[in-house]
Structure 1
Amino acid sequence: MMSQAQAESESMSGNIRWGHRKNFKDGKVYFHYAGFLGYRRGENDLPEIDPEEAEIVRRIFSRYLIGHSVAKIIADLEADGIKTARGHKKWNDGVIRGMLRNEKYMGDALLQKTYIADLFTRQTKKNTGELPQYYVENSHPAIIDRLTFQRVQEEMARRSSLKKVSTAAKTELAKYSGKYVLTELLSCGNCGSPYRRVTWTRPEGKKIVWRCINRLENGKKFCKDAPTLEESRIHTAVISAMNEMFSQKSLKAILQDSIRTALLPENGETSLAAIDSRLSQLREQQYRLLQLAAAVGADSTQYDEELKKVSMEFSALVAKRSELEKNRQDTEQADERAEQLAAELEAVDTGIATFDEVTVRQLISAITVLSEEKLLIRFKDGTEIEQII
C-alpha cells in the first residue's frame, strides 16, 4: 500500500514537473506577486505595473547608478519608512542586489532559474546547467529601460571586481563604498596609487586630509613625492574646474555628453554572428559536461563549477544578443532621454558654489594629483583641465 501511494505521488509530481518545464519551453512566465516589488496581478491574470511600488524600484536603480552603496540605499529606504514587498520594515543586502539583477524589471524573463531537486523534501536548487533555461523578451511591461538596466549590471560587475588598494587587505578584492566620491577618483601622479581620506588631530582641532595610500603604508621609499592635500582645497579646486567647464560649454551640452556617455553602448561590440557562434560552442560544451557528470554519478560535484560558468556565460550572451538587435531603438531612446534630462536642467544656474558628490560623479571620471599645487581633472566627455589648488 505504501509503495503504491509513493509510486502515485512520484507519478503525479513527475507530471507536474513536466507541465512546468513544458510551460517554460513555451515561454510562459510565472510571477510571485507577494514577494515581487513593482508589479501586481492585472487583467487576465497578467502582470501590470504598480505605480507606487514602481517608483521605489526606480529609486533603487537610479541611486545605485549615481554611486550609492547598497548599504546607503538600505539606510535611506528604512529612514523614509519604505517597506519591502512583503511589508517588512527592514531591508537586507540580498533583496536589493536581487532586484538590481532581476531582468524582469526591464520586461524580460529568464525561465527555470531554479528547480526542485528532491521530490519529497521539495528542496529547491539554483539551476547551474542541470536543466535548460529559456529567455523570453518583452514578456510584460518594463519598469526599468534596457539601457539603465545594462548600466547597472556593468556597475555591479565593476564594483565586485575592484582591486585592493591596501597591502593590509586580506583579499585581492576591495569592498565598494560610496561614502566619499574622491575615494574612487583621486590618485597619485607619482606612483598611481589611490588616495585615502585621513583625519588628523591637532591642538587647534581636527583636519581632514587625503594621502597617497602607498606612501601612507610603505613610506617615502616607495612614493617619495606624493603630497598630502587638505580636503577643502581639493573641493575648491574641483568646483573651479567644473565652473571652467561650464564657461567653455553650455550646461546642456555638458549634460548631454555625460548622459550619452553613460547611456550609449561602448564601441567595439561583439557581432551577432560571433555571439551565435559562441552560443553554439557553449551548448556543445554544456552537453559534454552533462555527459561527464552523469558518468561519475549524481552525487558528484566534480563538474558543478564548470557547468555554472557555462550557464552564466550563456545567459549573459543571450541578453547581449537581445541588446544588439535592439541597438538602433536603444540609441534613439538614449538620445531622447539625454534631451529630456538636459531640458529639465537648462534653467538651472550654471555656477557651482558647493562641492556636490552626485554632480562630481556624473561629470568627472578621474583626478590625478600632479603636485601640491596642481590637479589634473578628467571629465567624462574627454576634456582635461589642469587645475591650480
Structure 2
Amino acid sequence: MPRFPDKEEQLHKAIIRAINNYYSCRNDIARILKANIGSVLECQGQEEILAAGKRLREIDQARNDLVNLIASGGCDEDKLDSEFEKLYAEEQQLSERLENLKLQNKTSEGTQAKLDEIMDMIEHEKFELETFDNVLIRKLIECIKVLSKTEILVIFKGGYEVRTEIE
C-alpha cells in the first residue's frame, strides 16, 4: 500500500493542533496543580494531629469527670488514683507525640524553596505538544474521524471532541 508522506505529515500536524487545543486550558491546569501541591503539604500529618488533639481533650474531660465524682462524694479519691495515673501517662505520651508531629509538619526552608521552584516551573510551562508522539497519541485519543478532505474530528478518551483543519 503506498504511503503519502506529505498527507501523513499534514495529518500529524492536525492531530498535534487538536491536542494543543485540548490542552489549551493551561491556566486551569497550572491552578489545579498548584492547589494539589498546596493541599498535599497542608495535609501531611494533619489527621494524626487532629486525632491526638481530640484525644487530649477527651482525657481532660475524663479527668474533670473524676474530680467531679470525688467532689460530689460519689467515690473515694484513693480508689481513683490508678485512673488518674493512667490518664496522666496517656496525656504525657500524646503531648510528646503531638509536639513531634507539629515539628515534622513545618515546611523547612529548603523544601519551601523547592516548592517555589516547582510552582514557578508550572506557571511558565507551555503544556503544548510540539512533535508527533505515536505512544502519547494512542494514550490520549479514542478515535479520529475523517469529516472531509480538509477536516478531521479528534475524539479524546473521555469523550472530548476537537474539530481541526488539515492544511
TM-score band w.r.t. shorter chain: 0.3 to 0.5
Q: Which has the higher helix share?
A: 2
TM normalised by structure 2 equals 0.37
TM normalised by structure 1 equals 0.17
**Larger relative contact order (C-alpha < 8 A, sep ≥ 6)?**
2
Q: Which has the higher strand share?
A: 1
